[in-house]
Amino acid sequence: MKRLFILLLILTLPTALITNASPASAQQAKSAFKVEDPMGVVKVKPGGPVHIACWFVVAGPDASLGTDTKRGVEIAIEDKGGKVLGFPIKLTVQDTGCNAEGGQAAATKLAADPTIIAAIGSSCSSEARPGAPILWKAGIPTVSPSNTGPFLTDPKRGPEYEGYLRTAHNDKVQGAVAAQFAFKQLKVKKAATIHDGSPYAEQLQAVFVETFKKLGGTIASQEAVAPTDTDMRPVLTKISTGKPEFIYYPLFIAAGGHITRQVKEVKGLEKVALMGADGIFSPDFYKAAGEAAVGMYHSSPDFSAFGAGYKTFLERHQKKYGEKPIAPFHAHAYDAAMMTFAAVEKVAQKGPDGVLYIGRRALRDAFYATKNFKGLTGNLTCDKYGDCADPRIAIYKTSVENIKNLVLPDKPFWKPY
């Protein structure tokens, strides 16, 4: 018992010292100058790290989506020489699992760390819905490189999303491009959609349906599965009774792979055209779907429209990780990281004691004030709801070689512009 007491004493001692010490240094600083912020001020001691967090899906079937963006952030940090304003950058990564629960858990963990200045993430829109408000409550703004769900930047999204921005495109754009492609290029008159109940898939197919109907097409059925479902044959059999020529299923890798493999096994769907979206535009999806994915279409950011720096980025990526990017959002992540560093540089003030002061509200405002930011993905300008992307969406078609070598196609198959 006594020993336990001593142990506790030893453990509490450093914390006591720190809590005693910090007001003293703050007082010193106060005499020289003052940084105030309604959401609090983060102080970075000389030599101490500027702490940035990533919340991405880096495990499970959708790990490629998050790993790809993580690499984008890492390359951005390298390009900054690992430092911002002379302070080393510290990166923390939390896995989010590509579901609401994972997003909530990751955001809660990050929000509990007062040293974190800004976050980059999340990967899936379902994670951001509960996660972004938790982070913003703790004064942490977050920039997502791959959330595309329209509601996150909707005018009606509510003040709890005020700290949220994204460099990824809004699916209002992506869904419309997909519908135009199906109707105008493939001359499809009757289409079916499948979503998995996630906000990303549900809203994306809704935009598709709306645009497709407006163009004059008919929708045979709008079905749904669960993201963990494996047996898609029953739902596909149900779809086959509507006789669609085209199935649009903007899902994630596990369910998307099952549908692609099983669709040709269902009577009446042998000749149907298949199309997915950016969530399954990945070599991992090719692995999951196998040869069944040959001839399939994907909507994705148009890599050929990216800025001049993209080529060097790809070379750096190849050198560092020994492969080509494994999902579509690495460049968006690079831009999100660079935007974060630019915002920190704009807002941070160095005190006479060498301490860096960063106001949380001021940092968020600096993010939102981003204008004509030259990124890899284009010129980024944030609107008042946090949409910063310069969205150019193209359609890609998968070939036999793509499946054989597990590489994404290089050139777009079709562009709306």
Partner 1 sequence: MLKRLRERMTPTDVVMWFIGAVILALVIWGSIATLSEGKYSSHHWFDFIVFGLAQGSIYALIAMGYTMVYGILRMINFAHSEVFMSGPYTAYYVAAAFYSSGFLDRQPIVSLIIIFLVSMATSTFIAILLERIAYRPLRTAPRLVPLITAIGASFFLQYAFRGLYGSGFQAYPVVKILEGEWLFGEFRILKFQAVVIIAAALLMAALYSFIQRTRIGKAIRSVSEDKETSSLMGINIDRMIVTTFVIGGMAAGAAGVLYAVMFKQVHFYMGFIPGIKAFTAAVLGGIGNIPGAMLGGIFLGLVESVGPTLFLDGLGIVAPYQLKDAIAFILLVLVLIFRPTGILGERLAIKKA
Interface with partner 1 (CB under 8 A): 58-61, 63-64, 195, 197, 222-226, 228-231, 233-235, 237-238, 240-241, 253-254, 257-258, 261, 265-267, 284, 287-288, 290-291
Q: How far apart are CA 22 and CA 338, in angstroms?
A: 31
Instruction: Give whichever of 37 and 223 is closer to partner 1, judged by the CB atom.
Output: 223
What's the min distance (Å) between Cβ of 123 and partner 1?
A: 14
Provide, rounded to whole angstroms, the least separation between the CB of residue 286 and partner 1. Answer: 9
Q: What is the DSSP letter of 407?
A: -
| Least gap, CB of 156 to partner 1 (angstroms) | 24
Q: Shortest approach of partner 1 to residue 241 CB, angstroms?
A: 6
Give the shortest CB-148-to-partner 1 separation in angstroms.
21
For partner 1, the closer CB: 106 or 366: 106
> CB-wise, 62 or 390, nearer to partner 1?
62
Token pair in block for residue 382: 């944030």
Nearer to partner 1 (CB atom), residue 243 or residue 320: 243
SS (H, E, C) 48-106: CCEEEEEEECCCCCCHHHHHHHHHHHHHHHHHCCCEECCEEEEEEEEECCCCHHHHHHH
C-beta of 327 vs 356, nearer to partner 1: 327
Q: What is the DSSP letter of 13?
A: H
- What type of residue sits at position 104? Q
| CA gap 355, 371 in Å, rounded | 28
Rounded CA-CA distance 268/98 in Å is 33
Nearer to partner 1 by C-beta: 259 or 355?
259
Shortest distance, CB of residue 225 to partner 1, whole angstroms? 5
Which candidate, 216, 255, 262, places its Cα nearest to that of 239?
262
Question: Which residues face 52 on adjacent strands?
Answer: 91, 118
**Minimum gap (Å) between residue 94 Cβ and partner 1:** 14
Kindly tell me which of 199 and 351 has the beta carbon lying closer to partner 1: 199
Query: Among residues 153 and 205, whose Cβ is nearest to partner 1?
Result: 205
Work out how close the CB of 398 gets to partner 1 at its nearest, in angstroms, rounded to a whole number. 15
- Residue 357, beta-bridge partner list: 43, 349
Bridge partner residues of 26 (DSSP): none
E strands present in 97-256 = 116-121, 142-144, 164-166, 190-195, 218-224, 246-248
The token pair at 212 is 């497709």
Nearer to partner 1, 177 or 236 (CB): 236
- What is the bridge-based pairing of β-strands 164-166 and 142-144? parallel
Q: Measured between alpha carbons, how far is residue 30 from residues 19, 88, 302 in Å? A: 17, 25, 50
Shortest distance, CB of residue 215 to partner 1, whole angstroms?
Answer: 22
- 3-class DSSP assignment, residue 218: strand
